[in-house]
Structure 1
Amino acid sequence: MLFAVEVAIALYVRDRFVRPYLGDVLAVILVYCGLRAVLPIRPLPAALSAFAIGAAIEIGQAVHVLDLLGVQNRVIRVVLGGSFEWLDFLAYAAGAGIALVVDQRVLSR
């Protein structure tokens, strides 16, 4: 369900909040869920890893890694993004925090 929401945001939303920030929050939650689903990883390391993955992608945007690698695939460019924004790190932290809290307080019951 998270993946479908992410795809819908990427394809149809063109605004200044949902796509750039809420989309990033949800993306980190999606990464967190993926990590917890396929790896025997505890909640805190999963949250830190999901944040680190988001941060690595953001740093890649800052140095234009897709351009440096000559990546022209539209899907990859949409998924990984193309513009660096400092506030995205806050969105990644929020997503990791939300995922961690929901996992520890809601799902663990």
Structure 2
Amino acid sequence: MAARRGPYFCGMDAAMDVVSGKWKSLILWELAEHGVRRFAQLRRGLPGVSEKMLVQQLRELEEDGLVRREVFPEVPPRVEYTLTEHGVSLNEALAALGEWGAERMRRIGAEKVVYAS
């Protein structure tokens, strides 16, 4: 599913188009927390994401200029993902939403799920 490219009703509409779906904001957060990540590292850091979904979401984030994919000419090939400046700025905007979510978890008594790496 390709990202919409407008026209948008408002700034929130444009922002939600870029981070729509469960995994995009979590991918951005994972990259912000750890910096450079390889595909397998991202997959381990996002329990429950399928390989197909992670590939799709990474491609869309790359198309939107939020994630940089770098392929190294090695055998076996090495691919690394990092946030672009645009991705860093979006992640900063998402920080307040993460804080709101953490407060909601406390308020409703939801426990943080911790997965073994």
TM-score, normalised to structure 1, is 0.36
Greater strand share, 1 or 2?
A: 2
Greater helix share, 1 or 2?
A: 1
Larger Rg: 2
